[in-house]
Amino acid sequence: MRAPGHEATLNIAAVSARAGQLLSDFCSAIAGLRREPGFRGIGRRGMFFFYATVWPLAPRQILESGRMRGGSTLMLARCFPQARIVSVELDRDPTHAAIAEAKLKPYTNVDLLYGDSREILPARLQAGDAVLIDGPKEFRALKLALRLLRTGKPCAVLIHDFHPGQPARKFVEQFWPGAFFSDNPAFAVHLRELNLRIGRDPNSKHAVAPFVCLPGGLPAPYSILLLRIVWARAVSIAVGKIKRLPRLRR
């Protein structure tokens, strides 16, 4: 089931086709922002994929899981000034919290919450919301996405750090038709253009951590997808442990 009123087509071809027209507005929204050195998180290029995907869906609310020092939250607040941004962070580290809170204080469209997004987000989810998950990661993120998408409410769930070859990505590639990734070559042309606009080498080989976009609705019944995720995660954990075993001496 799809959320009502959000009819923009969601696939990599449609997002790439729209991205060129959105680039100038995105650059204006993020003007002057830079990632804090020494802290990994969603960069401007990653956020442009989120923007190009989500802006045409016009969500009234965006839920964010995993804020740390608020770099991505700040970009959301500036890129989606008409939307309410609900950002949840598990870690109450006082330094990170103080930095995020100071950064976001001027933005009245942002709610900063503390706790486990797996408990908080299902209760905050409204029809038509977009969701950004940057923690938890991998299969845990996928389980959270599945739980939210099952309600039929989100217009899309985007998960950060879905690198090629990772077990969770392989799972999505196999079992989630309709999902698409920001590292698709169709989108690369826009990242080159963005690099130019933000003063980076347009052909920079510096890798951008990819997003996966899961459009609203589920591609298979919830219980089947959940069982498959639980099984695939268990297998990937077992394989990881076996690979780390010291070689037995003869």
Residues within the interface to ligand SAM (CB under 6 A)? 40-42, 65-69, 71-72, 88-91, 116-118, 134-136
Query: Quick one: angle between helices 12-30 and 185-197, nearest 10?
Result: 10
- Closest distance of CB 200 from ligand SAM, Å: 18
Whose Cβ is closer to ligand SAM: residue 59's or residue 71's? 71
Say which residues have a Cβ less than 8 Å from residue 204's Cβ, sequence separation at least 6: 195
By beta-carbon proximity to ligand SAM, the closer residue of 38 and 106 is 38
- Distance (Å, rounded) from C-alpha 65 to C-alpha 51? 16
Task: Identify any residues that bridge with 214 across adjacent strands, giving them in sequence order.
Answer: 157
CA terminus-to-terminus distance, the chain: 58
**Residue 84 CB, nearest approach to ligand SAM (Å):** 18
Q: How far is the CB of 130 from ligand SAM (least distance, A)?
A: 15
Distance, CA of 87 to CA of 98 (rounded, Å): 15
Q: Which is nearer to ligand SAM, 57 or 88 (CB)?
A: 88
CB count, 10 Å around CB of 227? 11
Q: Which is nearer to ligand SAM, 18 or 84 (CB)?
A: 84
Rounded CA separation 158/10 (Å) = 12
- Position with the least CB separation from ligand SAM: 135
Task: Give me the least distance between CB of 68 and ligand SAM, in Å please.
Answer: 4
Report in angstroms how near the CB of residue 89 gets to ligand SAM at its nearest: 5
CB 127 within 8 A of CB 3: yes
Q: Smallest gap, in angstroms, from Cβ of residue 220 to ligand SAM? A: 24
Sign of CA dihedral 145, 49, 76, 129: negative
Looking at the Cβ atoms of 136 and 216, the one nearer to ligand SAM is 136
**Cis upstream peptide for 136 (omega within 30°):** yes
Q: Tell me whether residue 6 or residue 83 sits nearer to ligand SAM (CB atom).
A: 83
Q: What are all long-range contacts of 204-207, with beta carbons under 8 Å and residues at least 24 apart?
A: none
